[in-house]
Amino acid sequence: MPANGLGVMPRLRYLADRARRIDVGSVFTRAREVRDQHGKAVPAVVVDMLWSAGFKNVGFQDYVDFDFAMLNAAERATYMTHPVSNQLSQQYDAEPYRHFFHDKLEFNRAFGEFLQREWMHVQEGNAAELEEFTRRHGTIIAKTRRGQAGSGVKRYHAADVADWAEFHRGLLQRGEELIEQVLVQHDDLAAVCPGTVNTTRVTAFFDGQKTHILAVAQKFGRGEVSDQMSFGGFYTMLDETGHARSAGYDSHGHVHVDHPDSGFRIEEFQLPLYDEMVAFIDRAARVVPQIQYVGWDVVIGPDGPALVEGNWGAGVYENKPSVSGIRTGHKPRYRAAIGF
């Protein structure tokens, strides 16, 4: 298990970069959000946010999302934050191997046995292959080779295509080179939101021998092609058995006790095949062991998990105290597994 922790220089470089790019206006905007939710004075919140960012590695949005205004110092110290996560990524995800996760085509080639779906590469001269693929599946997902937070992901229906040569040409012009079969999700996920394939974010660390599950979040969509927040999605944290710990929430101040479309009570959600998913992640983590710290996106299908993508910049999903009543985060699990 790594024991050298987080270096001083990566942290200093990160803080210097943040200082150069600080948007004072956004700090005050977030401080007003905190005022409206927690009744704190804006000047006091601004000072606390800046102090937390400079000395405690807390991102401004982390401060808002994880309700730091209502937590004491000991409680705050248990929360993972994006600056700390970024430092872990830089230290434990070897740069020469990051391209397997940056490039979606390379990812699919490397992790083919875990995808549980057909896919193809759109290239010059294969319009006929594209037509056959799309007609056979009826609906397809198109992705740019690089993108995050759901950007560059679209859904197309064969019935809407009138000119296949033009459709093929348009995909190439927009850089939508990766075409995939739509995954079928488990009935328990479809019961919450059938119009979106709802993914599970599993943040994990592979220490060279064992894969440690650090945090698990269940994301839910709103019928769009992606369950990301930019598409109206939200999430809830899951416990060690795969059960929801609370209602759902996002980074825009929305709380969903029930799914707004299906009416499903979010805190009653139980992820099916949880143990199978954990074993699945352990196998996937060994494919590119040089990328140790990963946020894996998985869909639980009728017969087992399917891998959507892996994020070497894992991001952070945490408990929200004002929604869950849980005033501690997952940082102790990260420390135990990684040793920082």
Q: What is the pLDDT of residues 98-114, one digit of tens each?
A: 999 999 999 999 999 99
pLDDT in the model for residue 25: 82
Separation in Å, CA 276 to CA 11, 110, 244, 264: 37, 21, 17, 24
> Tokens representing 101?
């996760």
**Number of alpha carbons in the 13 Å side-chain half-sphere of residue 180:** 26
Three-class DSSP category at 41? coil
The pTM score is 0.92
Residue 213: phi, psi to the nearest 5?
-85, 115
Q: What is the pLDDT of residues 268-318, one digit of tens each?
A: 999 999 999 999 999 999 999 999 999 999 999 999 999 999 999 999 999
Q: For tokens 């730091």, what's the residue?
A: 68
Q: What is the pLDDT of residues 30-61, one digit of tens each?
A: 999 999 999 999 999 999 999 999 999 999 99
pLDDT in the model for residue 152: 83
Q: For tokens 């739509």, what's the residue?
A: 182
* CA gap 4, 122 in Å, rounded: 44
Q: Which residues does 264 contact at the CB level (< 8 Å), separation at least 6?
A: 191, 192, 193, 258
Q: What is the pLDDT of residues 233-280, one digit of tens each?
A: 999 999 999 999 999 999 999 999 999 999 999 999 999 999 999 999
Interval 181-202 mean pLDDT: 97
Q: How many CB atoms lie within 10 A of CB 163?
A: 10
pLDDT in the model for residue 20: 66
pLDDT of residue 9 exceeding 70, the answer is: no
